[in-house]
Amino acid sequence: MVDHQRYIKSLPQKPGVYLYHNEAHAVIYVGKAIKLRSRVSSYFRPKANLSAAKQIMLDEIARIEHILVRSETEALLLESTLIKKYRPKYNVILKDDKFFQYIKIALRDRFPQVSTVRRVTIDGSRYFGPYTSGLAVRRTMRLLKRLFPYKSCNNKPEIPCFDSHLGRCLGHDVGPGSEQRYQSVVRRLIDFLEGKTGDTLKNLRRDMQTAASKRDFETAALLRDRWQALEHVIEQQTVVTPRRDSFDVVSFARRDDIAAVNLFQIRQGKLVQRDQFMLQHVLDQTDADVIAAFITQYYSQSTVHPKHLYVPVELPANTGNALQLRIERAQRGLKRKLLLMGQENAADFLEREQGKWLSAEAKARLGLQELAHALQLDGPPQRIEMYDISNFQGQHAVGSMVVFEHGVPKKSDYRKFTIKNTKIPDDMHRLAEVLQRRFARHDESGWPLPNLIILDGGKPQLSVVLRNVPGLLQHVPVVALAKVEEELFIPGRPTSLKLPVDSQELFLIQNIRDEAHRFAIGFYRHKHRRETTRSRLDEIPGLGDDTRRTLLRHFGTLRQIQAASHEEIVAAIGKRKAELLESHL
């Protein structure tokens, strides 16, 4: 074990995040601390009370890194972000959290638009989520559209969208009092998403009666339909307590290295939502560690959560402090019944999901073993990197690197390369440039060496790369995959290798190839779009992407921006940026 005492003694007693690296420079653990020196030193004490997983981890730590923050809350948020980025093998990891979605309400707009996004930003908007499936979000948005005719398009309020012609959107009614009416719709939508369905129902009924008393029967009929639809939704929600309490109940089940979590959300006495999650890397972790990791990673992304949370095991007293959560163990009564019901749901979910996981893992394992045998490698290639080039008639050429670890994509390690040498004649030499840059600073980059490199192309690509990246074969086996016949070309072998049809090694190779193409083409299209849609706005120094988007969203085109008055531009982007813009146009 490496002696880290000198580094630990230099750590400050301040809030922060610490990262443990192994000898291959990979991050193997991320943790947070209110006092960094005390927390990190606790791992290395002779009688430290560590879980089995942490004991094993200590022998792998080659380097410690730390990042200072200003508070415990910032430490928690940064820890969650770094776990998502590096997915360390000794952290319990919330599976598929990068696919979470949120409902965004753009409150800064006159007529706030409602949309779905995958990232929460500090932009004055209100966010609800995360939602664990796209289907759940789409269902929720369809329901909200029926109950509250919100604005979902990018059109200006003065330009009606299709929904507005059908009476499904009030965001384009710009007559007297229209803004206030729409803001009322938005407030009720927010109340509904916060679980205050009873208040929303009362308000809809009151407005319906008011419209009827004014003999505005068309409006009264619309409000009646929304009121009935909302009443139907509320009737479907299970009442679990007459006391109108709001709290969450976390239950879980575990098996081998995975666990399933069931989350019941109770709002104003009703069970309004049930979510289920899978966790990885739980082997040798305690139940308390698993639950604490889920709470940290999920609730640091959650935009709305109650103050009370009930769990199956005792957790350290400070677990929920940074999240302002009061966490209690459910031991009796209603909370205990909900916990046990959640455990049954978690066990059922785990049973179904584990079958999928084991099937996929077994196939990946078999594919790696068969590929190692076919290529005569020393063992199954645990890390495979594939390189691809994408361009159109030599323009906007880009390179990409995709990484598969243990037979599955590791997207956090994907890399993009803009081809710097514009005089390179063909894709073969562009591929060589990418490989040169990848391995030129291997020791500095911290990227681990792959066990196998696959080049997209045939024998010419392989020859050019090996000729232009001398010494590559001394470190890593390299093969090239031809596109048409799906042949593998191997250095020193006169004929190509064709893998058996329907074999797992061919399926694995095809999967890696398809992922490499998808990633490369996506990068190329993004770069091509940027290049072909550049305007005079892009050439103005000091004018950022957000400002350019604001201008185009507000005015529509460059010509309309040039025709706008000084006052209109100031109202859109502020005085300083307006002066900068006008000095260049």
Alpha helix ranges (H) inside 500-565: 504-532, 545-555, 558-563
* Structure confidence at residue 1 (pLDDT): 56
Which range marks the domain in which residue 558 is found? 536-584
* Structure confidence at residue 196 (pLDDT): 74
Domain boundary among 37, 63, 91: 91
Q: Is residue 27 part of a domain?
A: yes
* Structure confidence at residue 532 (pLDDT): 43
Q: Is residue 195 part of a domain?
A: no
* Structure confidence at residue 16 (pLDDT): 95
Same domain, 572 and 491: no
Same domain, 488 and 450: yes
* Structure confidence at residue 348 (pLDDT): 92
Same domain, 314 and 400: no
* pTM summary value: 0.64
Tokens of 61: 């730590």
Same domain, 403 and 458: yes
Q: How many domains does the chain have?
A: 4
What string of DSSP letters covers 150-210? -B-S-S-TTS--HHHHTT---TT--STTHHHHHHHHHHHHHHHHTT-HHHHHHHHHHHHHH
Q: Is residue 569 part of a domain?
A: yes
16 vs 10: CA distance, rounded Å: 14
Question: 495, 519 in Cβ contact below 8 A?
Answer: no
Domain boundary among 332, 353, 374: 353
Same domain, 388 and 509: yes
Burial class (CB in 10 A: 0-12, 13-18, 19+), 373: exposed
Residue 313 sits in a domain whose CATH number is 3.30.420.340
Question: 351, 259 in Cβ contact below 8 A?
Answer: no
Residue 58 sits in a domain whose CATH number is 3.40.1440.10
Same domain, 321 and 284: yes
Q: Is residue 448 part of a domain?
A: yes
Domain boundary among 530, 557, 572: 530
DSSP 431: H
Burial class (CB in 10 A: 0-12, 13-18, 19+), 182: buried
Same domain, 404 and 476: yes
* Structure confidence at residue 527 (pLDDT): 54
* Ranges under pLDDT 70 in the chain: 1, 97-99, 197-200, 219, 222-223, 226-242, 357-359, 391-396, 441-446, 522-539, 585
CA angle 538, 541, 546 (to 5 degrees): 60
Give the Cβ contact number of residue 534 at 10 Å.
Answer: 10
Same domain, 252 and 292: yes
Give the Cβ contact number of residue 298 at 10 Å.
Answer: 23
What string of DSSP letters covers 470-504? TTHHHHS-EEEE-TTT-EEE-TT-SS-EEPPTT-H
Same domain, 498 and 577: no
Same domain, 338 and 411: no
Same domain, 408 and 523: yes
* Structure confidence at residue 553 (pLDDT): 76
Which pLDDT tens digit goes with each residue over 288-302? 999 999 999 999 888
Tokens of 355: 């079958």
Q: Is residue 372 part of a domain?
A: no
Q: Is residue 135 part of a domain?
A: no
Exposure string (b/e) for 497-520, b if CB count within 10 Å is 16 or more? Answer: eebeeeebbbbbbebbbebbbebb
Q: Is residue 159 part of a domain?
A: no
Rounded to 5 degrees, φ, ψ at 410 are -115, 85
104 vs 115: CA distance, rounded Å: 5
Residue 556 sits in a domain whose CATH number is 1.10.150
Residue whose pair of structure tokens reads 């006159």 in the numeric block: 110
Q: Is residue 215 part of a domain?
A: no
* Structure confidence at residue 336 (pLDDT): 93
Same domain, 511 and 411: yes
